[in-house]
Structure 1
Amino acid sequence: MIMTHTYLTTEELSSRIKYDVRTIRQCLKDSVLFEGVHYIRPFGGRKILFIWERVEETMLQGLSVNDAIGMM
């Protein structure tokens, strides 16, 4: 089974989840979004790429079935 991931920069993630880039960097990163789970630093560099599928999964945790249906 091949898993594909959608990698997003902080700016692209900001656009998708409607949070300010600074909020992602200062409040969410390393408190809600964790390295190795929600984001990676490819090639050992400084650049951060968020894994959209993992971020989305975390955002949707705790929603009831009725909430999820309402989002469709």
Structure 2
Amino acid sequence: MSQTYLTTEELSGRIKYDAKTIRRKLKDTVLIEGIHYFRPFGGRKILYIWEQIEEDMFKAPAIQTLMTGLQ
């Protein structure tokens, strides 16, 4: 299985979010370690898995998320 690994800056260019926003707001809330990114060799560097992020970006939001604003 071939996957595309991206740094935060490379991901920023693809999804048009500032790299700081990815680090501060998306990482560990929307982008989950072990699913969307990993730390190779247990280090500090983060590599994002493009195919997983792209797939999740196009998923429809859960009905519970949509209903939250109606309560």
Question: Is the shorter-chain TM-score for this pair beyond 0.5, marking a shared fold?
Answer: yes
Residue matched to 1:29 = 27
Residue matched to 1:45 = 43
Of 11, 14, 38, which residue of structure 2 is paired with 1:13?
Answer: 11
Query: Aligned to 1:4, what secondary structure does the other structure show?
Result: coil
TM-score of the superposed pair, with normalisation by structure 1? 0.82
CA distance in 1, matches of 2:40, 2:60: 30
Identity among equivalent positions (%) equals 69
Task: State the aligned residue count.
Answer: 61
Tell me which stretches of 4 or more aligned residues in structure 1 moved more than 4 Å: none
Query: Which 5+ residue runs of structure 2 have no aligned equivalent?
Result: 62-71
- Cα RMSD over matched residues? 1.1
Query: Which 5+ residue runs of structure 1 have no aligned equivalent?
Result: 64-72
Query: Aligned to 1:12, what secondary structure does the other structure show?
Result: helix
How many Å apart are 1:22 and its aligned residue?
0.6
